[in-house]
Amino acid sequence: KPQKVIIKDDKENVLKGIAGPYNELDNLKLFCIVYGKPPPIVHWYSEKMLVDDNYTTTSLRGELISINDFQLTKLTRKHLNKNFTCHVTNNNLSGPIEHSITLGVYLSPVTVRITSIKRPLSADKQIELVCQSAGSYPSAQLSWFLDSHQLQDASETYSKDDNETNSVLKFVPSSLDNGAYLICKAENVKLSNSSIYDKWQLNIYFAQSNIKLNIVKERNEVILECKIDSNPMISKVGWIFNDNPLESDLKTGLIIQNSTLVIKFAQKQHTGNYSCYAVNIEGKSFSNNLQIIVNYAPICKEQQQIIYGSAFGELTKIICNVDARPEDVVFFWQLNNTQIDPRFYLTNEHKRSVLHFKPSKAVDYGKLNCWAKNSVGVQEEPCTFNVIPASYPRPLHDCSISNQTWNSIFVRCSPGFDGGMKQTFHLNVYDAKRERLLLNVTQEENAFFTVSSLSSGVEYIFELYSSNAKGASNFVTLKVQTVTMLRRSSEHASSIKFDRLFAIVIGLASTFLLAVIIVVLILIIKNRDERIGNRHSRKVNE
């Protein structure tokens, strides 16, 4: 009689009762392993039909083993709940032994459909909409979306055989939803790439008083028409946005065609005042201003702290700021792609959420994603923060000295990594022998220090470092010296002496030159007088 029967799959899982579930379209090999003497005969049956009678016999540690491996290629929905039986015999004296398993198979949904009549809806009136999906195992998860914005007010029911799912959505449309797509998504969360969709483009009826022509949703098309009454005919039409002239820009979807302005995909930056003007031979006239307000899904604010340090058991407040219009913002957080319970974060009216984060084990560190949504939709990219084990900051670097005078010095450094916490910057001033602390300075925002009230021509030691709640960085040491005031006085005195000597030399040279000129003049006059006297003597003699 066979002594032991084991059924395994190709991943060495021992199978009993329900096998799996396995993924749809996966390949599966079933092994029936039987110990016995004489060697057992091993066959596979399905629903009492022989499906595999090939087996091999071998010996393991002196025992005879028969193995039948049965290959199933690409599991489909026909394999769900199908029975497979390993049938074992080894002689005519003992009866056969049978071990059976039932296959479980994860199946993608086959159909999804919004079953409600797709008729025009009335603005600001609640309606219940039904979506139905079938074919998934286990039952499909249904989600509702308005364009890209997920809707939450839905409840699900399941059929007894887990094959069919119904979801009922309580929905209040607004005039702004006219033309938007209502989407029902069905997916088997156990299978990747199993999502299927049904969508319905909404036609919203509303009274004229309900519409706000100047409020639009992002990505919607905006068309402005400049109505002109002119005589004689106009020669030019133009558009102005926030006091600046507009020109067509196909890259941004801004198109100007004569008196029409088209914004193909409205964005946040298109919010503002629009006007048009017309020109004829009589002059230029301007229209009134029309304010366009673009509502947009939340986006992360810039210049946020993105790295936080936190120790085990230490409470850290992580702040997520977003910008959105309208400001009816709802937040949700994820740690390493796992949803965080809303009890651990707070949201206030300033489009801010504060997560109270207290790590207790190593896996609590990692990437935090903060998402926000409003009536327009869910933000496309989350605000991402990295939580690391808190540590003391790294040393300052790239320190430089400038603006040295006889009594002051300016020092500037670049901060190192802050250890995930707010850091402050410090400077200690010592005498040259480091025997006495003369001054200490602390800066909150940057590592810039102006040190004054120093002595002229004296050497000092500057010790710079940063600190946070976990401790202080290593020191950066600089040897500095103020400008010597005496050296300046000596240079000034030498300059004065040189100036005086130069003046004396110039004076003597000028005196000598003047004396030479006088002598020359005297000689000239004397020579002239002698010539006149000689002529007079000759006349008397004659």
Whole-angstrom distance, CA of residue 394 vs CA of residue 172: 54
Q: Dihedrals φ, ψ of 193, to 5°?
A: 55, 40
Lowest mean pLDDT among 291-295, 468-472, 517-521: 517-521
Q: In the chain, what percentage of residues exceed pLDDT 70?
A: 90
Task: Give the max Cα distance, the chain.
Answer: 194
CA dihedral 245, 248, 250, 252 (to 10 degrees): 20
Give me the architecture of the 212-296 domain, per CATH.
Sandwich (2.60)
Mean pLDDT of the chain: 86
Per CATH, 301-373 and 397-483 having the same topology is answered yes
pLDDT band at 497 (very low <50, low <70, confident <90, very high): low
- Residue 164, pLDDT > 70, answer yes
Q: In the chain, what percentage of residues exceed pLDDT 90?
A: 45
Whole-angstrom distance, CA of residue 79 vs CA of residue 82: 5
What residue type is assigned to position 408 of the chain? S
Closest-CA residue to 390 (of 424, 360, 417, 420): 420
What pLDDT is recorded for position 531?
Answer: 58
Lowest mean pLDDT among 64-78, 121-135, 326-340: 326-340
Quickly list H helices, 339-435. Answer: none
What residue type is assigned to position 397 of the chain? H
Give me the architecture of the 111-208 domain, per CATH.
Sandwich (2.60)
- Residue 487, pLDDT > 70, answer no
- Residue 525, pLDDT > 90, answer no
522's tokens:
């005297």
Tell me: the pLDDT tens digits for 61-115?
778 899 999 999 999 999 999 999 999 987 766 678 899 999 999 999 999 999 9
- CATH number of the 397-483 domain: 2.60.40.10
CA atoms within 13 A on the CB side of 45: 12
Tell me: the pLDDT tens digits for 17-54?
999 899 999 999 999 999 888 888 999 999 889 999 99
- The model carries a pTM of 0.46
What pLDDT is recorded for position 84?
Answer: 95
Domain ranges of the chain: 4-106, 111-208, 212-296, 301-373, 397-483, 495-542
State whether the Cα torsion 512-516-522-525 is positive or negative: negative
Whole-angstrom distance, CA of residue 168 vs CA of residue 332: 23
CA atoms within 13 A on the CB side of 81: 5
Tell me: the pLDDT tens digits for 396-430?
999 999 888 888 999 999 999 888 888 999 999 99
What pLDDT is recorded for position 349?
Answer: 63
For the domain made up of 301-373, give the CATH fold. Answer: Immunoglobulin-like (2.60.40)
Mean pLDDT to the nearest integer, 123-152: 90
From the options 3.60.20.10, 3.40.1160.10, 2.60.40.10, 3.30.465.10, give the CATH code of 4-106: 2.60.40.10
- Residue 163, pLDDT > 80, answer no
Q: Where in 83-218 does DSSP place strands (E)? A: 83-89, 97-106, 111-114, 121-122, 127-134, 141-146, 149-151, 154-158, 164-171, 181-187, 196-201, 204-205, 215-217
- Residue 536, pLDDT > 50, answer no
Q: Which residue has the higher pLDDT, 390 or 211?
A: 390
